[in-house]
Structures are given as structure tokens and as C-alpha cells.
Chain A
Amino acid sequence: MTNVVTETSSDLRVIGKSLPRVDAVGKLIGLTAYADDMELPNTLYCKLLRSHHPHARVLSIDTSAAKALDGVAAVITGEDLPIKYGIMPTSQDEHALENEKVRFVGDPVAAVAAVDEETALAACRLIKVEYEPLEAIESIEHALLAPSDEPIHDYAGPGNIHRMGALEFGDVDQGFENASHIREDVFFYEGNTHLPMEQHSAIATFVGDQLTLWSSTQNPHYVHRALARVFDMPMGHIRVVAAPHGGGFGGKSDPFSHEMAVCKLAMVTGRPVKCTLTREEVFYVHRGRHPVLMWVRTGVSNDGKILAMHFRTALDGGAYGSYGPASMLYTGALQTTTYNIPAYRFEGVRVFTNKAPCGPKRGHGTPQPRFALELHLDKIAEEIGLDPVELRRRNYVKPYTRTINHLRITSCGIEEVTDQVIEASGFLNRKRRLGHGMGFAISSYMCGAGLPIYWNKLPHSECIIQVNRGGVSLYCGATDIGQGSDTVLATVAAEQLGLQPTDIRITSGDTGLTPVDLGSYSSRVTFMAGNAALQAAHEMRNILVEAVAEKMECSPQEVMVGDGKIGELTFEEAATLAQEKLGVLATRGSYAPPPNIGGKFKASGVGPSPAYSYSAAVVDLDADPYSGEIQLNKVWLAHDIGRSINALAVKGQVEGGVYMGLSEAMMEGQLYRHGLHKQPSMLDYKSFTFFEMPEVDTFLVETVDLEGPYGAKEVGQGPLLPVIPAVASAVHDALGVWIDEVPITPDKIMRALDAKAKGREGRYGPKNFPKISYPSIVKVPPFDASSSPF
């Protein structure tokens, strides 16, 4: 790993070092108790009965035989949980248990609590549900037609349309008119899923009037809200604890049926109730990457400058709303954070289908358009005879500017990340031979959504630091899902207090103990919770420094902090001194993004972020001209991290992101057949093993963001993004065929090679984009520059 630092960091003691994660030991010795490892006395076990139909009315549910089974404590159905919920205010469309109609195979209709899982499963099989099947909608095209019987939902519409958007910035028609070259392309990105190693699990207790839920969730705060709504209880009587987490990637970001069910069953039975999903159920819970069809038209000038772009997307949302309204807008929002597009039109639609609901997966809504955009630019470059890197460089955004869609760009290492991978990989001087190829692509991602899911004026992240008898405790609602947020918070606090990260005891992701952090999504934690922790730690540092200064009779500026000492005193002595004077030592920090980082138009909530990270990738591969099989040789990935808080953790996020990007680029697909998930198992849903993963060379560019904690930006999602188009581009480089569809599997490559051999277009991908009646375009006036310096 190489670090390219644009500003020195010599006086930092723990920030940026390669230190182990603070939670490593417990995980390494098998002590860390993930949700399914928890066992409370007298626990009951829950299983959900799930729909066998993709789309059907529920006529009746008879639970009598299940209730009568020995060992069954309770059986509940939709009648017991009548209030709908959903992650977004506009998508309150899920019942924990459906008793009116089911919308995909796997939709839960009943839940059983019994003495063990075996009994609970047997009871589920005794529940009789009478269904009246309805037409099942399985594709975007099908969903766009008028339904033959009834739409999947009785809101939104028309038909099975969930959401639409149509925006224009700048004068697109004029842009195309001025263009000397215009190109159109169509792309498809198949859906895929997170496949966390840990299967979702939740355990609830109801004692007195206090409900407690431990769950493998990324967003305890939003689960908290959903529980309060569903149970019509004050939030103060509910505690949601994010259990140690076995992998999220976005898949544990929604409130889920099994969470609601264990809570209700705990209330009914008065006993703890646990539910752990099977792997098959995890595929049904899904909320993964949306399948997206895309059409893009771009006009460029003679010298390769983008003059206008028109981007259309159609998302297959599956059966429920979930984050869908945001997902849809994300397919159009971040094209502009990498390229200066002076005129931009976006039209998007999300449809409902009878499949497991889609939602956010690493990169939320942006890997699909990024794939399309980067390949589209490659094709334009080829057509106008310009080097693809050069074409991109001519259009790169500049730091401290506004995009046409009003997004505020601050620190921006897009040039530097490009330089790094281009130079290290030798991309420009690569030797050309059949079957070997290299591909280049870039991307950018947000450091946290600029707006919360529920619009309000509250902070996005809050943190409390307490120092007690020399011990430091940090409380923050942030949730460590493996990405290392506990380590980040500990490191930030340790740096301020002159300690080591392992000196900081972290309590996180517990709505009963910690102040709110909105959750582990949109790469927001380092930036937002990191800033909250920084503020709290800084205040604590001031308190300690002042106490010591007073004692040493010097000015606070003269008190040095570091290596476990505050001035002449040990940290513990200093803390005691301050505590003698002040009593409880507790400080707070909170963070909300600055205003004015985005626009003020309708739908402007999606896209703004206090900062953007930048990544560039080069992929080197061999592709077999007979079989289409791909051997990945190497990936170079440069990432503008702002500042790395923990080099080891950053490297891990880059490598993990590259891995996930490659795996979904080449084999992952959430496929359906006859209304059913085609391969709900870890054997049949393919993901990379050790063998497929190539070597990764990581380069960190530190642009030291002015607003990030110590200058840090995100790394959890960004590095995944450029990898996918870079694979497609490398395949084209190797074989001269375009695979305009993800995943890029050998059978698709073979089809494209066949076509080419027969003199047809050497391409595999969607032929055309469906006719969609998007709403009329909203022409957004330019950003009011007087409201912000840039």
C-alpha cells in the first residue's frame, strides 16, 4: 500500500497508523457474542411461515393446529401486527406479517414461538393458509404494463410504478445541438445481494413495559423508530441494541419482519424470543442491489468535452418500497460528481415486481449508473479516437466547485487517484495481444447522506465521552458492522486525549445507552460520528488540560498531551484532578452536515454530502477467446481517503470493496425463475473464493478534507465502484467485445464473441430501453451562487 500525502501528518500519534482493530481479540478467540450466540434464560425460538406464492391474496389463515402442537408457546399473524412500517417516511408499506396479500415468495405470513426451532418449524408447517393467486410480475418490462388483475400495491402507481423522477439542469437540448458527436447506449445491471456471512438474527425481551431487542442491524436508530410505530409505544420504553455484527453491506439496514415478530412474541409470551434466519431466508429478506436498465445519451465537443448528457434508468424494486425512492434518485445523482456535465437530464423510474425487495447495497444505487457511464465514455473515446483516460481527464470536476445539480464538491483527488493507477499499472503502455486486457475507470462516493431519512433539525451523530477514575468511555449510536467504526471512534478520541485506541472503552449502537447516530449506511460514520467523537474528545482534552495547567500554574497552551500524559501528569492523575474539581467528567459532541451542500429543489435530498471520496481502478485480466473465461491478474486501486484514520482498516476496506466489486462484476446475481429465487444458497449464488481474487495494489491519496475528522473521508463504499466498469473495459480490451451487462459471465462473453465472429456487433447486453412515460421534466434553475462561496 502506498500513501500519497498532500499535507504532513507528522505530529499525529495514532491517527493514520496501522493499528489492530479494537474489537479484534474477542472475535479471534470466539468470545464475541453475535446475536445468534446470545442465549437468555427461558428463551423461545421463532420461525416465520413464508408465502409460497409470488403474488396472492390471503383468504384465510388457520393457526389452530399449530397452536395445539406440544411445545408451541404462541402463534401470531398479521392481525396481531396491524401497523405498517418501512424505512422511509414515504414507504410505510410493509406488514411484519402479511394477512391481506403476499407479494413475493418468502413474504412472511405468520410467526411461531416454541421451545425449540424444530418445534417452531413443525408448527409453521401446520398453519393452513388459503391463497388466491394473482398475476406475478417478474420483470421491469412487465411491471410497466397495466396489471391484468391488480397492482402489487395500492399506493403509488399508476399500475406497478413505485416512483418516478425527471429533472433537468442546464439546457440539455442546446448542449446536444452544440455537440459534434452524440452517442447512445443501453446497459443492464443484474441485481445481486449482500450475502453477509452472518444470517440475520434477533432476540427480544419484554419486561414490565420495557421492550429490548438485540439484533444484527446496521441501523438500531431506525429499527427503534419502526418498533415505536408498530407497537405504538413511546420510544423511551424501547431499547434496540445492535449486536456484534457479522457483515452488513447494506443488507441489515431496514427494519425487518423477524425483528417485529420476536418483539411481539416476547410481549405475548413474556419470555425472551429469538429468531435466526436460514440462509435461504436471508436471500428473501434481501434489500440488495436493484436490477437497473439504463439508457444514456451524451453529446461531446470535438475535443471530447461533455456538453450534454441524458440519463434514463428503470429500477426493478421488488415487492416493497424500502429505500427505493432514494435508490431511484441515486441512479442519477452522482454522475456529476466526477465529470463536469454542463447540461444534464435525468429520468428514473422504480417499479414494483413480485420478487424479494431491493434496497441499499454497498454503493447504493450508484454502481449501476457508474458501470453504464464509464463504459459509455470508453465507447465515446473509441469512437472519437481519443484515449479513454484523456477523455475523462478533460471532463474531471475540479475541487471546490458546484456541480450542475447543485452538489458541493470540496476536497477532490480525482486527478491524483488517476495518476496513481495509470502510472503504477503501466496502463498507457500496455502491450496489446488477444486475450489480455486492461481496463480503467473512476468513481466517487458520498461521505454520508447530507439529509437524514426523516427530515429534521437534529444532529446526525452524537457522542458522549466520560472519564471516570482515569478510564475513558465513549458512547455513540454508531454501529460497527465490521467496517471498523468502533476503532475509528476510539482512534479519534485517543489522538485527542494522548492515549492508545485500546484505552478507550467503546459502547456503540445501543439506543438505551448511547446518543443517536443515524446508522451505518451511506458511508457516513467516519465523517459524521468521527466528527462528533472529535468534538467530545476535544472538549474533554480541554477540561483535562485546564485542570493540569491550573495545577502547574502555566497556560493551557504549554500543556503537552500525548503518550498517556497530560503535561507532567499521567492521564489518570490529570483525570482525578479534574474530577476532584468538577465531579462527573462528561463531554458531548454532535454533528450535522452544513447547510447549503445541495440544492433546494424537489428530490434534492439525494446526492448532497459534506464530502466526496474519489477512486480509480485499473484491472488487468486474461480472457479466453474460446470460452470467455476470465482470469483476473491484478487490480490497482487508488482512493482519495481525505486522511486515513487507521491505515490497516483503510487497506481492509479497499481490498474488501475491490473484492465485492469484482465478485459482483463477474458472478453474483439474484436471479429468479418461475417467480422463485433461482439459487438461494451459498453454493448456487456464486461469490469469489480465495482462488478468484487477484492481487490488489492499493494507493491512498490524502487530500485532507477541511471538514472531515482529521481530514478523513469515506472508504467503505467508494473503492467498489470503479472496479466493475474496469472489468468490462478490460474484457473489451482483451477480446474486442462489449459486455454491457453485469455480471460479466463467460457464457455472455461467448455469445458476444459468436456474434462478432458472424460479423454482427460483438456485444452482449440489452437491445433497447423500454418506452416509459416519465413525468414531465422539472427544469431546475441554476444554483444560487450568492448563497455559498462555491
Chain B
Amino acid sequence: MGSIGSHEVLRLSVNGRSHELLVKPYATLLEILREDLRLTGTKHGCEAGECGACVVLIDGAPQLSCLVLPGQINGSEVTTIEGVTNGSELHPVQQAFMDHGALQCGYCTPGMVLSSVALLESNPAPSREEIKEALSGNLCRCTGYASIIEAVEDAGRSMA
């Protein structure tokens, strides 16, 4: 990772595309995604690790992008909500969220979907308790969570 002036060169693959970006070392991944790459599907509710709205997958694992520094992820693969869809076809998790009414305002949805995708990749048939645990850092103020649990269960079944 080199630097030019106060900026640094960050090599990053985002949704399968590699980027070489000139970033501020003190800009979090959240800011890089939203402001430099204009991938505004990644949301933010606190920017302090407290709400889960900013979850993206880094090398497949959900992480809070508001807490991640560019220096920590050089060479990583990042998946954002924009990278979950296969062409215009919804991912089974997205489809299940839609079918079960697991979104209302939709603001927590990108983080919820990504956390769910990661869960189902490693555990295709999670129990309700496992779903709750995996999504427990993602707050939602609209749904009351029940429909999200149902959607994840259903998506697991359809991915099996």
C-alpha cells in the first residue's frame, strides 16, 4: 500500500471488480464505498459500530464498515448489497425478504441481507436461535424482526 501526499493507494475488489483507489487514511470503508465509489446501498445509522446498518462482507464475513480503516483491508474482497444480486435476479435471501415482508422502510435491509447471506453460506439450515444470534447486531425499528427470521429460514430452504 503506497501513498501519495496525505492519501493512500488502496487496492480493493468490490463486488468482483478490482479498484485501485486513492483514499484518505482516515476515511472508513463506509465513506469509501458511499462517497468515493458512490455505492450508497450501504447505509449508516450511527457510524460507531452500534446499529449494523453499514454491514458489508469483507472476504465473506460481515463487518461494520463504519469501523474499518482502509489500511486494514488492502487486497480484500468486499461485497456490498449492490453485489448480492445476480444480474437482475434477486438473491434467494432478497427474494425471501420481499415475499415475507421482511422490509418496511428498507434502511436496515442491506445490512440485514448481507448478514443473512453470510449466515446461510456457512449454515444453510440455521435454527431460529442461530438466526437471531447472527443478526443480533443489526437493529431494525420497523419490522419487529419476526418477518426477517421467517425470510432467512425460507431463503435457507430455497438455497438448499
Contacts and interface: CB of A to CB of B under 8 A. Distances in A.
> A and B touching (C-beta < 8 Å)?
yes
Interface of A: 18, 20-21, 23-34, 36-37, 39, 194-199, 244-249, 278-279, 481-484, 648-649, 651-652, 655-660, 681-683, 687-691, 693, 695-696
Nearest to B106: A27
A655 B132 CA distance: 16
A651 B53 CA distance: 23
B43 to A, nearest CB: 7
B135 A690 contact: yes
B42 interface: yes
Given A197-B140, A655-B147, A28 B109 contact: yes
A682 B139 contact: yes
A244 B141 CA distance: 16
Interface stretch (B3-11, B68-76, B77-85, B119-127): B77-85
A246 B54 CA distance: 14
A33 B147 CA distance: 24
* 8 tightest Cβ-Cβ pairs between the two chains A and B: A30-B41, A482-B105, A27-B106, A659-B144, A246-B107, A655-B144, A30-B81, A37-B40
B101 A652 contact: yes
Contacts of A279: 45-48
Contact of A246 (B42, B43, B133, B148): B43
Contacts of A651: 101, 147
Given A681-B46, A682-B139, A687-B141, A482 B101 contact: no
B146 interface: yes
A481 B103 contact: no
19 contacts: A20-B101, A24-B106, A27-B106, A197-B51, A198-B45, A199-B45, A246-B43, A246-B105, A247-B105, A247-B142, A483-B104, A651-B101, A652-B147, A656-B142, A681-B46, A683-B50, A687-B141, A689-B136, A691-B136
A279 B81 CA distance: 23
Given A199-B45, A246-B107, A247-B107, A29 B143 contact: no
B113 interface: yes
B113 to A, nearest CB: 7
B21 interface: no
B56 to A, nearest CB: 11
Given A30-B39, A34-B107, A246-B106, A25 B98 contact: yes
Contacts of A649: 101
Given A28-B106, A30-B82, A197-B142, 12 more contacts: A20-B99, A27-B103, A27-B109, A30-B42, A30-B81, A30-B110, A36-B40, A197-B140, A245-B105, A279-B48, A656-B104, A683-B49
B153 to A, nearest CB: 13
Nearest to A480: B105
B94 interface: yes
B130 to A, nearest CB: 11
Contact of B50 (A29, A659, A681, A695): A681
Given A30-B82, A682-B139, A196 B105 contact: yes
A121 B71 CA distance: 24
Interface residues of B, number: 55
A248 B45 CA distance: 13
B102 to A, nearest CB: 8
B144 A693 contact: yes
B146 A197 contact: no
B139 A689 contact: yes
Contact of B106 (A32, A249, A659, A682): A32
B17 interface: no
Contacts of A659: 143-145
B50 A195 contact: no
B31 to A, nearest CB: 10
Contacts of A198: 43, 45, 105, 107
B105 A197 contact: yes
A39 B37 CA distance: 12
A493 B39 CA distance: 34
A655 B146 contact: yes
A194 B141 CA distance: 8
B146 to A, nearest CB: 5
B106 to A, nearest CB: 3
Given A28-B113, A655-B147, A691-B132, A481 B105 contact: yes
Nearest to B101: A648
A651 B107 CA distance: 19
B45 A682 contact: yes
A344 B146 CA distance: 40
A36 B50 CA distance: 19
Contact of A482 (B113, B142, B149): B142
Contacts of A483: 104
B97 to A, nearest CB: 6
Contacts of B113: 28
Interface string B1-35: 00000000000000000000000000000000010
Contacts of A18: 101
A23 B97 CA distance: 12
Contacts of B144: 652, 655-660, 693, 696
B11 to A, nearest CB: 23
Contacts of A33: 40
Contacts of A37: 34, 40
Contacts of A481: 105
A636 to B, nearest CB: 13
A482 B104 CA distance: 5
Contacts of B44: 36, 199
A693 B46 CA distance: 22
Contacts of A652: 101, 104, 142-144, 147
A697 to B, nearest CB: 10
B42 A24 contact: no
A362 to B, nearest CB: 10
B139 A30 contact: no
A68 to B, nearest CB: 22
B139 A687 contact: yes
B57 interface: no
A658 B144 CA distance: 7
B104 A693 contact: no
